[in-house]
Structure 1
């Protein structure tokens, strides 16, 4: 495959982050700081609601067994030859689509069987406590809507649970598409069933996967370096196959299939793609607007498990900062341009103005929820204004030992 014209941004690690406040280096200290952050009233000079909007990234799903992009053990670090397919390549090249769908076919079972983890359910619990108004996620695994359907969730980069036609824009469930891929590619399906039976796709050990000749990449992509991708076949859009679509130039598109129903390269329409925003593809204007409305509808932003290397996420955090919203970040490793989010903070503030914690969300968030729930029970007899940050942190540590 030809070298891409576009460069993938920020594939190297960002500088180590600060800890804000300094007491947040320990788990009890981090919990106390996040409590201050979530319960703090809006800044007096800003007309902002009291709720928090959450922005999440790939790191939140690592505990579910999925790969991330830019973490210390992310794909860009451990698989230097990896690069995702670009939108223009997918549209222009039949061979590129064969390669994409073959790898996705192998990876879909693992992604489908994966489940939300403790971090996702902690977000649910924060919503039930009345602290979170909405979630904006860059993830395409649909774990957020599965874990907390009652909290509005905007999937900024789309979702893998569906395919979408690039001609008529109708969506189709991925399960049915996967069944068609299996029918059209019996040899590949037999290989997949053997891989499942032997546990080759179940192991989380990257060294074992490499020994088996596999590389597990983000978003359900399984790479087999010596695989005959040119033999792979994929179906056409059933809607466009039954009724020729109208193309951008006003003409009718051509959709043809072979004797088994696989998309034919004599076609110029009816191409199905994952319902995700691929690299080089623009986010729909309605999604951008909805993301901005989610930010504008809250008074604080809590960023979880993302380096915000993609501009689509970073611009939302910047929008929050420009609106005067306090920003909290929980992420292992540095974050793109994070110094701007904490500029001007009082060095002695306990977390109300901003929080920066370098911890795993799957351990920190559940512990935070437990303390918030216990604090809610205690609040009937003790006013929060009577408890100092130091006392609060001590109480957190005591409760963790119980």
Structure 2
């Protein structure tokens, strides 16, 4: 019997937020409240040295919308406009050759959009807040690597992995996604011609989901493009080169089988050497080292700034709840509702001006750069160095030219 698919959480519209404080409904009021939030002395670890409080930032897909990428639960998010969308599940990718063909074919078409996209004003605003000594670490659910590109010196924990690499399920070797894309093009010349035609038509240049659907495609988050009627079964993908050269040992101590066809495409007679995106898929566990580093960042922070996420995934929600349980102030900047935000803001003083908590519904690419300019005009100085949270990963964890 086939394993039932996990339920995708919170695909319906979440309740509208209550803006906190009321003055934060306007841009000027929201900026003033965030200024208060970021500089107010911490009641948990008051400092006599005058150092600024340590603020951690937790981000989601909403922060990358201004870069032209799709989100999940926004007003034009995939779960709103594409009701049939279902992301691939880890056990499905692991066990089903045809499912992998479909995944890599769609990713092959969608990668061009992700590869061309760049960090936006919100990502660079977070860099500038770090430069000003106001932000000391970022935890992101996003897999686009925009944070690492915009602020490489600021500690960033990629909670759900990253699309800039592929990783072997068997030996855990990492390979750059650019090189993998070239291999997909070589193994699938007809698909490569099709991709070049799509690029030439400009169908992937528009950020409007209605225009893309009119051209016969649905664009989903994380570089996934749905092409109705496409012959996915013809698609081929390469084997892990390391496993091909040196097949790994199986659990019973025998050598796994890694075979390829005459062109080098992975053969279904193989029992190892499958490459997957270096992201955490639905049904796959987050690495323990990543979870531990994220929790440590929350534990060390005086407060938490949440940007561009509905906290619908439990991995993100639990970090916000951890900060709440530790009685740390929380600020949320997000268009649309947020999972359990009433719990995060319970018992707030209605007269507080942002030091205890904030809920703002203004676009991040408008709000955060304005906030930076306000701080700069106030001559805020850097006063504290960031701690280093080490996340141990396999292979080449950072590629300098990841999105250049």
Q: Do they fold alike, i.e. is TM over 0.5?
A: yes
Please say if residues 46 and 324 of structure 1, whose CA atoms lie closer than 8 Å, have aligned partners that are also in contact. no
Bigger shift: 308-317 or 290-299? 290-299
Determine the C-alpha separation between the residues in 2 that align with 1:377 and 1:275.
Answer: 38
**What residue in structure 1 maps to residue 28 of structure 2?**
28
TM-score (norm 2): 0.91
Please say if residues 58 and 69 of structure 1, whose CA atoms lie closer than 8 Å, have aligned partners that are also in contact. yes
Determine the C-alpha separation between the residues in 1 that align with 2:66 and 2:136.
Answer: 24
Bigger shift: 263-272 or 205-214? 205-214
The Cα shift of 1:262 comes to 0.2
Determine the C-alpha separation between the residues in 2 that align with 1:357 and 1:291.
Answer: 24
Q: Which of 146, 161, 166 is matched with 1:143 structurally? A: 146
Deviations 1:9-58 (A, max 9, x none): 11011100011001100000000000000001111578998110000000
The two structures, once aligned, show a CA RMSD in angstroms of 1.6
Deviations 1:192-241 (A, max 9, x none): 01111111111112222112110000000011011000000000000000
Decide whether aligned partners of structure 1 residues 49 and 128 sit closer, same or farther in structure 2, where only a CA change above 3 A counts: closer
Q: Which of 99, 103, 107 is matched with 1:104 structurally? A: 107
Determine the C-alpha separation between the residues in 2 that align with 1:358 and 1:183.
Answer: 46
Tell which structure's C-alpha radius of gyration is larger. 1
**What residue in structure 2 maps to residue 204 of structure 1?**
207
Please say if residues 132 and 380 of structure 2, whose CA atoms lie closer than 8 Å, have aligned partners that are also in contact. no
**What residue in structure 1 maps to residue 15 of structure 2?**
15
SS of 2:268's partner is coil
Decide whether aligned partners of structure 1 residues 197 and 3 sit closer, same or farther in structure 2, where only a CA change above 3 A counts: farther
The Cα shift of 1:248 comes to 3.1
- Is structure 2 residue 341 aligned with structure 1 residue 338? yes
Please say if residues 45 and 302 of structure 2, whose CA atoms lie closer than 8 Å, have aligned partners that are also in contact. no
Task: Count how many residue pairs are aligned between Structure 1 and Structure 2.
Answer: 377
Determine the C-alpha separation between the residues in 2 that align with 1:13 and 1:217.
Answer: 18
Determine the C-alpha separation between the residues in 1 that align with 2:305 and 2:224.
Answer: 29
Please say if residues 101 and 235 of structure 2, whose CA atoms lie closer than 8 Å, have aligned partners that are also in contact. yes
Determine the C-alpha separation between the residues in 2 that align with 1:329 and 1:143.
Answer: 20
SS of 1:136's partner is strand
The Cα shift of 1:251 comes to 2.6
Determine the C-alpha separation between the residues in 2 that align with 1:327 and 1:374.
Answer: 25
**What residue in structure 2 maps to residue 55 of structure 1?**
58
The Cα shift of 1:377 comes to 6.8
Bigger shift: 244-253 or 168-177? 244-253
Bigger shift: 204-213 or 140-149? 204-213
Stretches (4+) displaced over 6 A: 45-49
Greater helix share, structure number? 1
Determine the C-alpha separation between the residues in 2 that align with 1:375 and 1:46.
Answer: 22
The Cα shift of 1:78 comes to 0.1
Deviations 1:354-375 (A, max 9, x none): 0110110010000110011111
- Is structure 2 residue 248 aligned with structure 1 residue 242? no
Determine the C-alpha separation between the residues in 2 that align with 1:176 and 1:293.
Answer: 34
Deviations 1:373-394 (A, max 9, x none): 111279xxxxxxxxxxxxxxxx
TM-score (norm 1): 0.92
Gaps of 5+ in 2: 382-404
Determine the C-alpha separation between the residues in 2 that align with 1:156 and 1:78.
Answer: 26
SS of 1:355's partner is strand
Q: Which of 158, 163, 168 is matched with 1:165 structurally? A: 168
The Cα shift of 1:5 comes to 2.2
Decide whether aligned partners of structure 1 residues 370 and 258 sit closer, same or farther in structure 2, where only a CA change above 3 A counts: same
